[in-house]
Chain A
Amino acid sequence: MNASLELGPIFRTLLRNKMGALLIALQIAVTMTIVVNAIFIIDEREALMARVSGVDEADSFYVNSNGFASDFDNPNTIQEDLRQIRALPSVRNVTTINAIPISGGGWSMSLQTEAGEGKDDVATAVYMVDHHGLEALDVQLLAGQNFTEQELRYRDGSEEGWPQNIIITQALANDLFPDTAIDEVIGKTTYINNDEPMQIIGVIDALQAPWIGWEQLENTMLSPEYFAFNNSTTYFVRAQDGMRDQAMRAVEEYLAQRANERLVRGMESFENVRNESYGFHAAMIKILTIVMATLVLITGMGIVGLASFNVNKRKKQIGTRRALGATQWQIVRYFMLENFMITSIGVLTGAALSIGLNILLVNFFELNRISWYYIPIGMLCLWVLGQLAVLGPAKKAANIPPAMATRTV
C-alpha cells in the first residue's frame, strides 16, 4: 500500500515535545563522538600492535648470564654456552645479542653514505650477533651473505671502532640508498661515527628496533660481535616450533650448572616482551572498549526509556490510531521514524563533535587526523542502535488494542 510516512506530523509532534528528544539526541551525539574517536584510536593502536617484529615471537626467549667469579673466562664461556645450547634438542638456534627487539632498551647509531662531519645521516638500531644470528632472529637474507665465524669479534667495552662488515634491513637500505635495488646495495660502504667505513654484505627482510615508538623502528643493522660488557652476556634463543617452554627449561637447567660462578637471570619469553611493550596500548584498547560498551548500553537504555515513556503516555492515542485504521506495522513504523529523526539530530551533531574532538586530540595529544569514513560509519551504527533500541517499545505500542480508544476516558 502506498502509505504516507507521517514524517510531517511526527516531526511537528517532536517539536512540541522537545526536551526528552533533545536530551536523547545529545546523548546520541556524545556517544557517537566518543565511540567514533575511540574506534579510531583503537584501530590505530591495533595497527601499531599488528606490526611484525621480524622475530619468531612464539618460539623465542632470552636469558642473561652474568659471571661474577674473579677468574670468570667469559669468551670461552660464551663459546661453550652457545655450543651446548645449540645442541639442546628443543633449541633451533641461539645467538648472543646486545639488545632485544621491541623491548624498549638498546643501541642506536647514525650511518651516512659519505664520510665527514655534518653529512646527511640515517638513524639505525644496532644488534650485535654471531653468525647464527639470522636463524636465531628468524630473518631472511634478501641479498648478499651472512657473517662468517672468522670475522666475529669479542666486544667487552675495551674495543675501539666497528667491524668491517654489516648486514642491514631492507628498510635501512632504502633510507640509506633510496631508489637503489637491494642487490646493488651489497658491497656499498657506509660510515659510522662520521668516517669509520663499514661494508654492507647483506640485506635482510625485516627486524624491528628495540623502541616501538621510534620513527625508524624498521631501521636495523647487524654487527658481527659477541657482546659481553662486564662478563654479562645475553643469549637470544629460538626454540624448535612449539617447543619454547621445554627449551626455556632446558636452557635454564644448563646455565644453572655453573651457579657458583655466574648469575643467571631475566629469562623472558618474547611473547612477554611484546606484552610488556604494548601493554599500554592493550590497556588503552581495553579501557576504550569498556567505555564504548558502557556508553552504547546507557544510550540504548535511554532510547528504550524515552520510547517506553512515550508509548505509555500515548496509550490512548495509539488505541485511537488503531481504531482509525492504523495497522500494527504502521504503529511500529511511527516509533521507528520518530526515533530515526531523534537519532538523525544526534548523529549530525555527533558528526560535528567527532571531528571537533579529533581536532582537540590532534592538537593536544598528537594523535592522527581521523579518516573521514569513520564518521558515516559511526552515524550508521547509531542509527542502527536507535532502531534496534526502539523496536521493543514500538512492538509494545503495536500490541495496544484498538479498544483502548473506547475503554479509557
Chain B
Amino acid sequence: MLKMENIAKVYRTDVVETHALKEFSLEVNEGDFVAVTGPSGSGKTTFLNIAGLLETYSAGRYFLDGNDVSGISDAARSRVRNEKIGFIFQGFNLIPDLSLFDNVDVPLRYRGFSSKERKQRIEQSLDTVGLSNRMRHLPAQLSGGQQQRVAIARALAGSPRFLLADEPTGNLDSKMANSVMTLLQEINQQGTTIVMVTHDPGLAAQAKRNIHVRDGQVSELHEVNTEHTRDVVNG
C-alpha cells in the first residue's frame, strides 16, 4: 500500500539545514491502522506530509499503491491526494464560512463528481459520523469533537483508500478523543488504511500497529495487540 525506502527530507533556510527525515524506511500494508508516536520535532508530521504527497522529499523512493510517485507533476499529485488520500488535521481545518454540507463537498467538487453523487456521498458520510441532522450548520456552531467528526466525514466522502491523521485528537478532551478514536477504528474495519500520529500512548495502543519516530528515523517497530485485534475482527 505504502512503501518508503530511505526517504530523506532536508529543510534549508538561510541559517540552518534541518534533517527532518533520514533514511526513513517503512512499509504499511493495506488495511493497517498504524499509530505513529515520537517526541516533538522528531519528523512525524514530515513523514505524514510526504506520505500524503503534501511535500516532496530530498532523497529515497516512495511507492504509493505500487506506483513510484517521485517525479509526478503538481497537478498529478493533487489528483492522487484527492482520489486516494483522506486527511485529518489536528486543527480540523474546516472552512469557517461553509456549512458542514459545503465543507464535506470541497474535495468532491475537485473530484468532479456530479451534484447528485456529491449530495449522496455528503449525506452518507455525515451520517457515518452522526451529524447528518446538522448539515446546514456552520463549523463554529459545533464542539471540537463534532468538528473533527465533520473533518473525518470530509476525509471519507471520496472513499479514499488511505487516511492520514496528524494528531487528530490533539485538540480534544479525552472523552471526545476516545469517540474519535472509536470512529477511526470503525473506518479501519471497513477496510480503509489509516496512519495516525498521536501523542497519546493510550490511543496508540488501540491501533493495530505502532511505530516510533526519533530523530527522523523509524527507531522502534512493535506490533501492538495485532493478534488480539485480528481475533476481535475475525471473531
Residues in A lying within 8 Å of B, measured CB to CB:
1-4, 6, 8-9, 12-13, 16-17, 316-317, 320-330, 401-403, 405-409
Q: How far is the CA of A401 from the CA of B166 in the complex (A)?
A: 17
Complex CA gap A408/B90 in Å reads 10
Nearest CB of A to B36, in Å: 13
Partner of B98, one of A13, A322, A409: A13
- Tell me the minimal C-beta distance from A397 to chain B in angstroms: 14
Is the CB–CB distance between B91 and A402 below 8 Å? no
Asked if B75 CB lies within 8 Å of chain A CBs, one says yes
User: Would you call B81 and A328 a contact (CB within 8 A)?
Assistant: no
**Would you give the shortest CB distance from B85 to chain A, in whole angstroms?**
8
The distance in angstroms between the C-alpha atoms of A8 and B107, with both chains bound, is: 15
Chain B residue at minimal CB-CB distance from A5: B109
- B residues in contact with A329, CB < 8 Å: 75
B49 touches A317 (CB 8 A): no
- Least Cβ distance of B13 to chain A in Å? 14
Which chain B residues lie closer than 8 Å to A326 at the CB level?
78, 82, 110
Complex: A320 Cα to B104 Cα, angstroms: 12
Q: Which of A3, A12, A406 contacts B54 (CB 8 A)?
A: A406
Whole-angstrom distance from the CB of B199 to the nearest CB of chain A?
A: 14
8 Å CB contact of B89 from A13, A17, A406: A406
The A-B contact count (CB < 8 A) is 97
What residues of chain B lie closer than 8 Å to A316, measured between beta carbons?
Answer: 91, 93
Known A325-B107, A402-B81; judge A4-B115 contact (CB<8 A).
yes
Given contact pairs A324-B81, A326-B82, enumerate 5 new A-B contacts (beta carbons under 8 Å).
A13-B97, A16-B97, A316-B93, A325-B110, A406-B54
Contact yes or no, A3 B93, CB < 8 A: no
Interface string of B85-112 (1 = CB under 8 A from A): 0010111010101110010011101111
Q: Does B27 contact A (CB under 8 A)?
A: no
Q: Do A405 and B93 form a contact, CB below 8 Å, given A9-B105, A325-B78, A326-B78? A: yes
The B interface, classified by DSSP as helix, strand, loop or mixed, is helix
- Verify A402–B83 contact, CB threshold 8 A: no
Known contacts A324-B87, A324-B106; decide if A12 and B74 are in contact (CB<8 Å): no
What's the least CB distance linking A12 to chain B, in Å?
A: 7
In whole Å, how far is B191's beta carbon from the nearest beta carbon of chain A? 21
Residues in B with CB closer than 8 Å to A320 are 87, 89, 93, 95
A3-B110, A324-B81, A325-B107 known; A402 vs B54 contact (CB < 8 Å): yes
On whether A6 and B93 interact (CB within 8 A), knowing A324-B82, A325-B81, A406-B166, the answer reads no
The range of chain B's interface size is 35 or more
Considering the chains assembled together, what is the distance between the CA atoms of A408 and B93 in angstroms?
A: 10
B79 contacts A325, C-beta separation under 8 Å? yes
In the bound complex, how far is the Cα of B118 from the Cα of A147, in angstroms? 90
Structural contact, B54 and A403, CB atoms closer than 8 A? yes
Contact pick for A328, options B45, B75, B154, CB 8 Å: B75
Separation of A9 and B95 alpha carbons in the complex (Å): 11
Question: Knowing A323-B87, A328-B74, A406-B45 touch, does A2 contact B97 (C-beta < 8 A)?
Answer: no
Question: B46 to nearest A CB, angstroms?
Answer: 9
* Complex-state Cα separation, A323 to B203, whole angstroms: 25
Q: What residues of B have a CB within 8 angstroms of the CB of A405 in the complex?
A: 54, 87, 89, 93
A-B contact pairs, 27 of them (CB 8 A): A3-B109, A6-B109, A8-B102, A9-B105, A9-B106, A12-B97, A320-B87, A320-B95, A322-B54, A323-B87, A324-B82, A324-B154, A325-B79, A325-B83, A325-B107, A325-B110, A325-B158, A326-B82, A328-B74, A329-B75, A401-B54, A401-B55, A402-B81, A403-B49, A403-B55, A405-B54, A406-B54
Q: Which residues of B contact A2 (CB under 8 A)?
A: 112
The CA-CA distance from A363 to B81 in the complex, in Å, is 62
The 9 A-B pairs of least Cβ separation, nearest first, read A325-B82, A324-B107, A320-B93, A402-B54, A13-B97, A325-B110, A327-B78, A4-B109, A16-B97
